[in-house]
C-alpha cells in the first residue's frame, strides 16, 4: 500500500517505515510535488495532524497520513505541548529546545526550593485519509526528563527523555527499543492494524 507521509523529517520517515514494516511504501510530500512547508496552525495535536493530512489530500487526492507529536512536562503544567517543535523559537532547533526545557525546569525547581517530579510524556495524534475518509489514532509514551542530555540516537528531545521502566534516554536506547515503546510506534501500529484489517 502506497501512502504519502506528511513529513519533511527524515528521522520520522525512517521510524515510520520501520514501524509499519512490509506492505507499506511511504512517499514524501516532495515526491508528490509538495515542496512548500505544510501549515501547522492548530491549537491541539489532533487539529495539526488533521490540517497536515488534509493539505496533502486536497492537493493530490492520494491516500496519506500525518502525525503531530508533543511533549508534556508536568512541572511545566503540560508545556511545551502543542508548541514542542518551536519551544525555543521558530527555527525548530532541537538543541535550543532541550536547553530551554532544562533551564525552565531548573528555574521552577529553584523557585520551589526542593526537588520536583520530572514526569513527562510524549503524545502523538495520527490522521489517516483513505479514499477521502478520515481515521484517527493516538499513542502515549510515559517517562521523565533527564537532568542533562545523553546519547546520540533518535531526534528532537530524545537525548533528555527517559521512558518509564528504563534508565537511559531514548537517544541511548536505540531505534529498535524506542520504536517498540514510543508514542508514534503505538499510534502507527494501530494504524497499520486497521489498514491490514
Ligand atoms: P512534530 O510532530 O514534528 O510537530 O513534533 C513536535 C516536536 O516534538 C518536535 O520538536 C519533535 O522533535 C518532537 N518530537 C516528536 N516526536 C519525538 C520523539 O519521538 N522523540 C523526540 N522528540 C520528538
Q: What pTM did the predictor assign?
A: 0.92
* H helix or E strand, kind and range, residue 123: strand 119-130
pLDDT under 70: residue ranges of the chain: none
Task: Specify the pLDDT at position 15.
Answer: 85
Residue 2 · residue 20 · CB < 8 Å: no
Q: What is the pLDDT of residues 65-104, one digit of tens each?
A: 999 999 999 999 999 999 999 999 988 899 999 999 999 9
Protein residue whose Cα sits closest to atom 5 of ligand 1? 69
Q: Which residues lie with the beta carbon below 6 Å from any ligand 1 atom?
A: 9, 67-71, 84-85, 94, 97, 122, 154-158, 170, 182, 184
Q: Distance from the CA of 113 to the center of ligand 1, in angstroms?
A: 31
- How far is 156 from 90, CA to CA, in rounded Å? 14
Proportion of the chain above pLDDT 70, given as a percent: 100
Cα 72 from chain centroid (whole Å): 12
* H helix or E strand, kind and range, residue 166: none
Cell 495520527 locates to 126
Cα 42 from chain centroid (whole Å): 15
In DSSP terms, 18 is beta-bridged to none
| DSSP line for 13-77 | HHHHHHHH-TT-EEE-TGGGT--SPPP---SSHHHHHHHHHHHHHHHH---EEEEEEEEEEGGGT
Average pLDDT, the chain: 95
C-alpha cell, 175 = 531505534
Task: Specify the pLDDT at position 152.
Answer: 95
Q: Which residues are catalytic?
A: 68
Q: Distance from the CA of 156 to the center of ligand 1, in angstroms?
A: 5
Phi, psi of 63 (to 5 degrees): -60, 135
In ligand 1, the atom with minimum distance to the C-alpha of 154 is 20
User: Shortest CA distance to 172 belongs to which of 148, 192, 137?
Assistant: 148
Maximum distance among all alpha carbons in the chain? Answer: 56
Task: Specify the pLDDT at position 10.
Answer: 87
Proportion of the chain above pLDDT 90, given as a percent: 90
Q: What is the crossing angle of helices 183-196 and 10-20, to 10°? A: 50
Best mutation site among 156, 161, 166, 172 for ligand 1, i.e. most ligand atoms within 8 A of its Cβ?
Answer: 156
Amino acid at each position: 500500500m502506497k501512502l504519502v507521509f506528511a513529513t519533511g523529517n527524515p528521522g520520522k520517515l525512517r521510524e515510520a517505515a520501520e514501524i509499519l514494516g512490509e506492505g507499506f511504501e511511504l512517499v514524501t510530500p516532495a515526491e508528490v510535488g509538495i515542496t512548500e512547508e505544510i501549515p501547522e496552525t492548530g491549537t491541539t495535536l489532533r487539529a495539526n495532524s488533521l490540517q497536515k493530512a488534509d493539505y496533502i489530500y486536497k492537493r493530490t487526492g492520494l491516500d496519506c497520513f500525518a502525525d503531530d507529536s508533543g511533549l508534556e512536562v508536568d512541572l511545566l503544567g503540560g508545556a511545551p505541548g502543542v508548541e514542542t517543535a518551536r519551544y525555543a523559537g521558530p527555527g525548530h532547533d532541537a538543541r535550543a529546545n532541550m536547553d530551554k526545557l532544562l533551564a525552565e525546569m531548573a528555574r521552577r525547581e529553584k523557585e520551589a526550593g526542593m526537588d520536583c517530579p520530572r514526569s513527562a510524556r510524549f503524545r502523538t495524534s495520527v490522521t489517516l485519509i483513505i479514499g477521502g475518509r478520515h481515521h484517527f489514532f493516538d499513542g502515549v509514551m510515559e517517562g521523565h526528563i533527564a537532568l542533562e542530555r545523553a546519547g546520540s540516537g533518535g531526534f528532537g528531545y530524545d537525548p533528555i527523555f527517559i521512558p518509564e521502566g528504563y534508565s537511559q534516554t531514548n537517544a541511548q536506547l536505540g531505534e529498535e527499543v524506542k520504536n517498540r515503546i514510543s508514542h508514534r510506534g503505538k499510534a502507527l501500529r494501530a494504524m497499520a492494524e486497521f489498514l491490514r484489517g
